[in-house]
Amino acid sequence: MNTQYTSDQLTALQKVQLPDDWKMALCDVLLSATMDNLRAFLQHEYAQNKTIYPSKSLIFNALNTTPLSSVKVVILGQDPYHGVGQAMGLSFSVPKIIPKPPSLQNILKELAMDLNIPVSAHGDLTHWANQGVLLLNATLTVENGQAGSHQGRGWEEFTDAVIDVINKKTDHTVFILWGSYAKKKGRFIDTSRHLILTANHPSPLSANRGGFFGSRPFSQTNDYLVRHGKGAIDWMLPQ
């Protein structure tokens, strides 16, 4: 942590709604000019009465649900869903009442084949997040109906910092990286300390091309966690 922060900056840091371990580990990026510019951009978008997903209270849902001290697995997505009611601040996850998007359907189909469990009737992955699966998107906000609209505004630097913290401050974490974007995002992960599992993206176009179905990320994750003295993830979603 940079000790040159002003009292005003430290006061601002105290107001950030994040678990203390994330807040302390990410203080430099949280107080950076990049994040100041990002906040200004978001304030402008809200002032223009644009609909932004997820809701303000859920923007940091992934970090709030999965504190740094509990992280065992990272599943990296790209953007939040940009349809009404879909985004909930957890990558690939949707609320129980929302139909499962195609990528999530394929994830749950692979899970069922991998661990021989029934395909879940819903797509709310909070059960995973509560067990230490950080469901992190590279960009944490998006405009309604405008995929990628908040890319290049500063979120990528923030989530790079999140990945860097996990890489340096944890051991034997599993990073599940689907698709070329996620693989590039994880290029600096120390493979001598962590396990990286890669496959094609679960979107229908990529998944049906081969390389996603049959990749067995869920059983591989549990095998690795158990082998290193960590508890396995209960991947079956409660109905």
Q: Are 154 and 38 in contact (CB under 8 A)?
A: yes
Q: 114-139 as b/e, with b when 16 or more CB fall inside 10 Å? A: beeeeebebbbbbbbbebbbbbbbbb
Per DSSP, helices labelled H in the chain are 7-15, 20-25, 27-30, 33-47, 61-65, 102-115, 126-129, 155-169, 179-185, 204-207, 217-227
Query: What are the tokens at 181?
Result: 């974007």
CB 97 within 8 A of CB 25: no
Active site residue 164: no
Which of 8, 79, 114, 234 is the catalytic position? 79
- Active site positions, annotated: 79
